[in-house]
């Protein structure tokens, strides 16, 4: 039976409560979105021997694929730092036996990656509908000019940051890694050749398992240099000035004239189809959540009297199958 532990309000949990813990290998990871966090979570789940992809079927959140469900603790099997007792939090932060892992990515690449995922492909997010009033497609003969659309997004990100900073895909990296509070044993750039492989090798040795980095969230194959001009790069350097100054990210030279990168008709239809699928996923997810409303209330009563299993610690969107198995698909 699963047990739920209450949020532990410590100073460390306040700053880095999103930290994930792999207790089997004694690794704590402070994830940063769009910095290979999907791949690192998968490696840790495998090293921790806790990866359970079969649990994805019980989630109500919209996930693009089974591997993408690694972000849910019900699938990764990792533990949220903020649900651990204060004594365990102290040990993780202070003991030399524990690894404390953080990762970074160049803001140019990370900003484009976030744009492609959240704006161009419109992946599930917490962004409000107001975003789409400003982040419309720039089109040429009906096809999407990705470079021009990216420039429009970057200008909007600077002018209306409050629309985007509700989603940590767009926030500065220092706010995720909090290296002013964490004494890291492993702190690396995922966009530096060989760094992910080096970490995977060390994790393999520590866990006694063959751990290899997997590319779980690949985009369209477009590089930030394909869409970046000097003015847009300067805006990104302004928005993420703290990251550039704090971590010494390189400033590059880009063309002074705006670039064009226009999709073909077939590519445009593929993007539009992907958006339609994502929108349908959101609708189904909302429907699933609303239809379980009365079940949730009844389930809480049953849990209180000990007649129903409790979800994993920190879970918010997990339906635990009964001991007799889940036969909903047979109904």
DSSP string of 98-136, one letter each residue: SEEEEEE--HHHHHHHHIIIIIIS--S-S--TTHHHH-P
Is there a contact between 33 and 176 (Cβ–Cβ < 8 Å)? yes
User: DSSP alpha helices (H): ranges in the chain?
Assistant: 11-16, 37-47, 73-76, 86-94, 107-114, 131-134, 146-159, 174-177, 195-207, 230-239, 241-247, 265-291, 293-304
The helix/strand/coil state of 146 is helix
How far apart CA 31 and CA 36 sit, in angstroms, is 9
Closest CA to 120 of 157, 156, 145, 155: 145
The helix/strand/coil state of 31 is coil
Instruction: Give backbone dihedrals phi and psi of 323, rounded to 5 degrees, phi first.
Output: -60, -25
Is there a contact between 116 and 223 (Cβ–Cβ < 8 Å)? no
Q: What is the pLDDT of residues 247-295, one digit of tens each?
A: 999 999 999 999 999 999 999 999 999 898 877 766 665 665 555 555 5
Comparing 134 with 324, the larger pLDDT belongs to 134
Is there a contact between 25 and 203 (Cβ–Cβ < 8 Å)? yes
How far apart CA 203 and CA 208 sit, in angstroms, is 8
Q: What is the pLDDT of residues 94-140, one digit of tens each?
A: 999 999 999 999 999 999 999 999 999 998 888 999 999 999 999 99
Q: What is the mean pLDDT of the chain?
A: 86
pLDDT reported for residue 125: 86
Closest CA to 237 of 257, 252, 224, 223: 252
Q: What is the pLDDT of residues 142-170, one digit of tens each?
A: 999 999 999 999 999 999 999 999 999 99
**Residue 298 CB neighbour total at 10 angstroms:** 11
pLDDT reported for residue 248: 96
Q: Which two tokens stand for residue 215?
A: 């590319």
Closest CA to 293 of 24, 34, 60, 57: 60
Phi-psi region of 223 (alpha: psi -120 to 50; beta: other; left: phi over 0): beta
């Amino acid at each position: 039976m699963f047990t739920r532990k209450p949020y532990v309000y410590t100073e460390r949990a306040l700053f880095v409560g999103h930290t994930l813990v792999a207790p089997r290998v004694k690794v704590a990871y402070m994830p940063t979105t769009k910095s290979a966090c999907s791949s690192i979570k998968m490696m840790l789940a495998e090293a921790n021997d806790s990866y359970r992809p079969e649990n994805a079927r019980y989630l109500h959140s919209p996930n693009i694929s089974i591997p993408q469900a690694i972000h849910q603790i019900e699938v990764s099997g990792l533990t949220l730092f903020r649900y651990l007792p204060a004594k365990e939090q102290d040990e993780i932060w202070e003991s030399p036996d524990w690894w404390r892992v953080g990762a970074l990515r160049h803001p140019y690449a990370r900003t484009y990656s976030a744009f492609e995922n959240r704006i161009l492909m419109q992946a599930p997010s917490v962004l409000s509908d107001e975003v789409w009033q400003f982040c419309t497609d720039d089109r040429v003969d009906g096809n999407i000019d990705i470079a021009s659309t990216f420039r429009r997004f970057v200008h909007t990100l600077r002018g209306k940051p409050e629309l985007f900073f509700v989603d940590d895909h767009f926030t500065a990296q220092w706010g995720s890694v909090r290296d002013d509070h964490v004494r890291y044993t492993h702190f690396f750039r995922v966009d530096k050749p060989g760094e992910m492989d080096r970490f995977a090798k060390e994790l393999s040795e520590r866990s006694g398992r063959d751990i290899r980095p997997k590319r779980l969230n690949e985009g369209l194959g477009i590089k930030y240099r394909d869409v970046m001009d000097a003015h847009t790069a300067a805006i990104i350097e302004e928005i993420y000035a703290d990251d550039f100054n704090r971590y010494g990210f390189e400033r590059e030279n880009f063309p002074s004239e705006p670039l064009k990168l226009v999709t073909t008709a077939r590519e445009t239809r593929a993007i539009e189809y992907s958006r339609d699928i994502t929108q349908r996923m959101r609708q189904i997810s909302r429907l699933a959540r609303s239809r379980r409303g009365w079940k949730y209330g009844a389930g809480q009563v049953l849990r209180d009297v000990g007649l129903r299993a409790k979800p994993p610690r920190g879970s918010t969107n997990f339906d635990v199958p009964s001991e007799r198995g889940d036969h909903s698909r047979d109904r």
